Amino acid sequence: MIDPPYPLFYTFNFYLFGVIALASALAFVTRKSPVAAALWLVNVMFALAALYVMLDAHFIAAIQVLVYAGAIMVVFLFVIMLLNLGHPSEIADVRGKWGKAAAVVLGVILLAEIAVVSGASIEPEWIMPRGEMERLLAEKGAIGVVADPLFTNYLLAFELTSILLLIAIVGAVTLGRRPDAADAAVAPIGEGSINAG
């Protein structure tokens, strides 16, 4: 990112992608069809990836597109397709008048809380000197900036993440298979066309 004052082109693009993200998020929560909602959420993620590039987080922008829009949202769409969530009883899912009123009140309270918290003062010595991020990017590259702290200060957390992913894989497989899957998976293959052929 360029230090202030920002060029008009930069400011315009920042606001453009911000408005796209906000409008897509609003479209996402108001769509009745789960598939349309998922596609609007993908749009939010692409707009956020563009903002990450403008905020000098190039590697994060790349994995935002690859992991979030590419992997996680595909899993969501796959489950929506698998469960065939198109029929009317599933589509009419927005809560009634009181539910909406409570949600709007809570949303306004939350925004007010965030506005109050954002006024908190920040210690000036925490802020990097001006131009430090550009120097780091030029010295280490976009991936090195993330990889350097990840494999030094946060190495233990990184290793624990691999255990978390292993537990998640085992959990998803255990939860997702049918109770009688062990029998059902073997039987049809033995009786099928493989033996006949």
Stretch 53-72 residues interacting with another protein (CB under 8 A): 54-57, 59-60, 63-64, 67-68, 71-72
Q: Give the integer Cα–Cα distance in Å for 150 and 89.
A: 47
* Residue 127 DSSP one-character state: S
User: Is residue 1 close enough to count as binding another protein by CB under 8 A?
Assistant: yes
The residue written with tokens 């987080």 in the block is 57
Using the structure block, give the residue that is written with the tokens 């120097």: 135
Window contacting another protein (CB under 8 A); options: 19-27, 180-188, 189-197: 19-27
106 is a contact residue toward another protein (CB under 8 A)? yes
The sign of the torsion formed by the CA atoms of 149, 154, 159, 160 equals negative
* Angle, CA of 17, 19 and 25, to the nearest 5°: 100
Q: Which of residues 119-178 bind another protein (CB under 8 A)?
A: 126-128, 132-133, 136, 145-146, 148-150, 153-154, 157, 161, 164-165, 167-169, 171-176, 178
Please report, as residue ranges, which positions from 28 to 57 form the binding site for another protein (by CB under 8 A): 28-29, 34, 37-38, 41, 44-45, 48, 51-52, 54-57
